[in-house]
Amino acid sequence: MDSRPATVLVIIVSAIMASATAKDVNPQHSGTSIAEFIKSSCQVSRYPQLCVSSLSPYAGSLKPTLCDLVKAAMNVSLVNARTVSVWAAGLKGRSAEMSERERAALNDCIQNFDDTVDEIQKSLKELEQLQRSNFNPQMNDMQTFMSAALTDQGSCLNGFEDVKAAAGKISAMVKVRVQNESELISNALALLNALALNAFANTGVDDGIHA
């Protein structure tokens, strides 16, 4: 019988069609609309370009909710803070290139980075457990943690500003990274504040918060 190859062909064709349809099941999750969502949400931040470029790598794994976007922004600031913290600790080995006061400023900064990592971690944990029924206290905690993280980065910068006269190459390298981390935290905080404003606005858009 030669009906067999035809049956096989029908099965193959239906399988291809099924997989093509599956891709379109949720057009809202398509790459383009996520990119648009990131771009438009980032308009509330003070550093929208950094906001977009730092969140774009998450586009593939993100749901288009403000809650998920804040989570990604906090995570970006956390991962970066950890990286810079390790890098800054490594600079201690170059103490010969630093003045006494620069060394002191660096040590303070390393401490500030540890605190920053700790605060963002607490904030991220709170966000993962965010519930509509307990929204205000949890939002308040997160805003406090993220503001504290921002303040810590500010103290670090101030420490280096104070030694301006003696500041060399190392100070400059630290400052550019601290400034970047401050901007990442500031962006996460701006998105968090947007979530606070929109959570009960009933816009019809899923904000991603648990009931």
Question: For residues 178 and 199, which CB has a smaller minimum distance to ligand NAG in the complex?
Answer: 178
Shortest separation between residue 66's beta carbon and ligand NAG, angstroms: 15
Q: Which is nearer to ligand NAG, 177 or 195 (CB)?
A: 177
Of residues 138-177, which lie at the interface with ligand NAG (CB under 6 A)? 176-177
Cα dist from 122 to 101, 128, 179, whole Å: 32, 10, 22
Separation CA 75–CA 38 (nearest Å): 15
Among 45, 54, 112, 182, binds ligand NAG (CB under 6 A): 54
Residue 30 tokens, joined: 């398509």
Nearest by Cα to 71 from 114, 140, 113, 130? 130
Total number of residues shown for the chain = 211
Q: What CA–CA distance (Å, rounded) separates 171 from 133?
A: 46
For residues 59 to 88, the per-residue mask of contacts with ligand NAG, x marking binding by CB under 6 A and - elsewhere, is -------------x--xx--xx--------
What would the two tokens of residue 123 be?
Answer: 């904030």
**Residue 44 binds to ligand NAG (criterion: CB under 6 A):** no
The binding site for ligand NAG (CB under 6 A) comprises 54, 72, 75-76, 79-80, 176-177, 180, 184
